[in-house]
Structure 1
């Protein structure tokens, strides 16, 4: 026997590392199964994985569900899991850029409620913004706050700002 027979080869990962990677993919698949249909649509999933996830969501028997999750992990071995992990991080709110963007939108909403002149800043940032709609939502949100009513229009302002930001984030906005 030669000494080189006992040295570790650096060509491929050890069997333990391979198993750990497979278990991570299986756990990632199990996490996907727990998401709602709307959340799954927000993640860019390959068709075969999406189909396997939807099938697993229908299964109620414990053993069958476990096998389907194992199968899902096997399917995920053949795909790039980085976009899936990034999508899950966005859903969980772990992305620092996404958190910063949401905080920026919340500040914009607060400025709008404090002073109507901030509409000019919104128009400069998003030229496609419907200022009349935002003005109306602002008026209604202030009335809601005064009357102690549920913040329906307050939330609607945020949704409009979020949609504007999705349509076209200005290049000078530092995220």
Structure 2
């Protein structure tokens, strides 16, 4: 065994509470680049809801104008990641989370409407009654009419016009709540 003492600078680096390993720094850099790429992929309307300073907004716009297949796009994303590392990203991350939650909520509402439509088609009067109990503003007669039309369309292999109209009717009435 050797009697070598550990290097005091190495020892103090591991004891320091603010020490961040090189691999952790790389992970953080990758996360910032992913955040930057998701900013670039947003629609202009959604991007306008995210609080960006002028320098960061310019960098995002440059990345949008550069072809995604070129090396310049990759470097621009790295630059955006660097800019994000130099800032407090809490407001940006909150805005992005809000956009994601909005999208998920609209998907849930869409699936709920699809289920209601399928129930009306498959179960008929029992599903119509359940829907009217939940949404009294729905018209029972109109729902029964859609049910009959859809059955006729399916028997004749006709285009699903009533199928689409039922979905639109449910969307209009249920979404107004």
TM-score (norm 2): 0.56
Which sits farther off after the overlay, 116-125 or 19-28?
116-125
Give CA-to-partner distance per residue, 1:145-165, whole Å, 9 cap, x none: 233234454345445546666
Give CA-to-partner distance per residue, 1:22-65, whole Å, 9 cap, x none: 21231243345456x39x74x89514377755653332272332
| Structure 2 residue runs without a partner (length 5+) | 1-7
The separation in 1 between residues aligned to 2:20 and 2:117, in whole angstroms, is: 51
Report SS of the residue matched to 1:149.
coil
Cα distance, 1:19–1:109 mapped onto 2, change above 3 Å:
same
The separation in 2 between residues aligned to 1:76 and 1:139, in whole angstroms, is: 57
The reply to whether residue 68 of structure 1 matches residue 76 of structure 2 is yes
RMSD: 4.4
The separation in 2 between residues aligned to 1:65 and 1:85, in whole angstroms, is: 24
Does structure 2 retain, via aligned residues, the 8 Å contact 1:44–1:83?
Answer: no
Q: How many residue pairs were aligned?
A: 161
1:7 aligns with 14
| Structure 1 residue runs without a partner (length 5+) | 169-175
Structure showing greater radius of gyration is 2
